[in-house]
Amino acid sequence: MKQSKSLGQVFLKDQNYIQRILGLLNISGETVLEIGPGSGEISEQIAKRCKFLYCVEFDPRFVESLSEKFKNKSNIKIIHSDILKFSFSDLKEKPVVFGNVPYQISNSIISYLIDNRAFIKNAYLTFQKEFVDKLIAKVSTKDYSFLSCYMQYYAKVNKLFDIPKGAFSPIPKVDSSFIEARFNDASLIKTKNEEFLFKIIRHAFNQRRKKISNSLSGFCPDPDFFSSLKIDANFRAENVSLEKYILIADKLCEVI
């Protein structure tokens, strides 16, 4: 069946990488939810290793073929749904989420999984390599961004390995990376006000060429504010760690 360009359908076909993925999935005895199973080639292998598999597919063509393919499989359920509208809270057990995510909805998927983290055990996901580089970026590196802080606040993310573009069909223009994201497993101290924290971080990165004392001057006009927190006022957004952003936000919550 021909993939849909409008849906960003790109399927992993290289058996070497499929087997590497399957070897890393910790799903024995688990309920698994697969995002966009497509033809169900990997789904079939996952179902042999887990207790129960939900296949959430948006394309009605694949929903039909998957329903026929797995009609005699008692531990597989095909669900016709947009994953961004799927209700994780309706499942009886917290699933392990698995999927090769269409590049065009990467940001939306991350936000949606974070919003639903209370109903998810962890996730194994394939994204564009450059996107993953931002998810895992450390402070003072070129890829460190709002996305880095946002993801790392809510999850511990490990890049397991890279996948070259030639392993997919149709062949995309970029390479991908396979990650494990453990939501609710971030070892970071939490902030008093998450909405305000991310407002501060986004504001800083929107003016990342400015010194932090200038980009956040509208929130903290006191020239001694940063030195009182032992933060260099000459730092730019990418030089401030997530821990320091939490310190800034929490202190501002006390004085605003």
Nearest to 4 by CA among 39, 34, 33: 39
Residues spanned by CATH 3.40.50.150 within the chain?
11-183
- As a whole number of angstroms, the distance between CA 21 and CA 9 comes to 19
Instruction: Determine phi and psi for 63, rounding to 5 degrees.
Output: -60, -45
Please tell me the CATH code under which domain 194-255 is placed. Answer: 1.10.8.100
**Does the domain at residues 11-183 carry the CATH identifier 3.40.50.150?**
yes
Per-10-residue mean pLDDT of the chain, 256 residues long, equals 55 95 96 94 95 96 94 96 95 95 93 95 96 97 97 96 95 95 79 95 94 91 87 96 95 80
Q: What is the pTM of this model?
A: 0.91
Using alpha carbons only, give the angle 69, 21, 23 rounded to the nearest 5 degrees.
100
Predicted pLDDT of residue 102: 87
- Report the candidate in 249, 7, 242, 232 with the shortest Cα–Cα distance to residue 144: 242
CA distance 212 to 207: 9
pLDDT given for residue 189 in this prediction: 79
Residue ranges, comma separated, of all CATH 1.10.8.100 domains in the chain are: 194-255
Please tell me whether the peptide bond between 221 and the residue prior to it is cis, using omega within 30 degrees of 0: no
- How open is the CA angle 29-34-38, to the nearest 5 degrees? 135
Q: Give the other-Cβ count within 10 Å of 176's Cβ.
A: 27
